[in-house]
């Protein structure tokens, strides 16, 4: 019995050392969205609380300027007007810093804010850290105007995700 406890403790310790988190649980529909504060691509302070009263599309992606992440960001860019028409805002989050986000946003003319999370606090709070990597899993949270998670999309396809998000936002009203 004692050996089993030691092994379980060792596994948790090794997992933590490799960048995992033994306690980070992904929020589910109906739960309050974890609060966060950071900076956007322009170095401007940004917090989830800034958007109280508006639905939020909080999408996590692995890395700026990579093929899948670019495809997803550009799809959100191309569907931005329709998403805005629902009253929602889009926030993209990755472990990249503000400088990387700025270059990515400028290169692809992204009209929404990218949130820097180089210290992984937001990624950890939302339980979307890739095991063994310092990157976020491609996951999107639809958060209602009161700060409650209403829909979670895991393992999304960058090519087809924007219409799913738009449909979920329209379902909020």
Question: Could you give the residue numbers annotated as active site?
Answer: 69
End-to-end Cα separation, the chain, in angstroms? 53
Contact assessment for residue 24 and residue 127, using Cβ atoms and an 8 Å cutoff: yes
Q: Which two tokens stand for residue 160?
A: 């087809």
| Residue whose entry in the numeric block shows the structure tokens 């958007």 | 51
Of 7, 19, 24, whose CA–CA distance to 127 is shortest?
A: 24
CA–CA gap between residue 10 and residue 22 (Å, rounded):
12
Q: Which two tokens stand for residue 85?
A: 């028409």
CA–CA gap between residue 61 and residue 42 (Å, rounded):
19
CA–CA gap between residue 27 and residue 137 (Å, rounded):
14
């Amino acid at each position: 019995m004692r050996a089993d406890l030691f092994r379980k403790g060792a596994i948790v310790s090794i997992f933590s050392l490799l960048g995992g988190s033994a306690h980070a649980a992904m929020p589910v529909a109906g739960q309050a969205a974890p609060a966060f504060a950071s900076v956007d691509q322009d170095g401007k302070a940004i917090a989830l609380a800034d958007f109280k009263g508006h639905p939020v599309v909080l999408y996590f992606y692995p890395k700026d300027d990579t093929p899948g992440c670019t495809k997803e960001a550009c799809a959100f860019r191309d569907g931005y007007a329709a998403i805005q028409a629902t009253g929602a805002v889009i926030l993209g989050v990755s472990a990249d810093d503000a400088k990387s986000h700025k270059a990515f946003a400028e290169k692809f003319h992204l009209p929404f804010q990218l949130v820097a999370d180089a210290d992984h606090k937001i990624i950890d709070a939302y339980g979307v850290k890739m095991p063994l990597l310092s990157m976020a899993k491609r996951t999107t949270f639809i958060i209602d105007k009161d700060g409650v998670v209403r829909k979670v999309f895991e393992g999304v396809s960058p090519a087809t995700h924007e219409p799913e998000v738009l449909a979920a936002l329209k379902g909020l009203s």
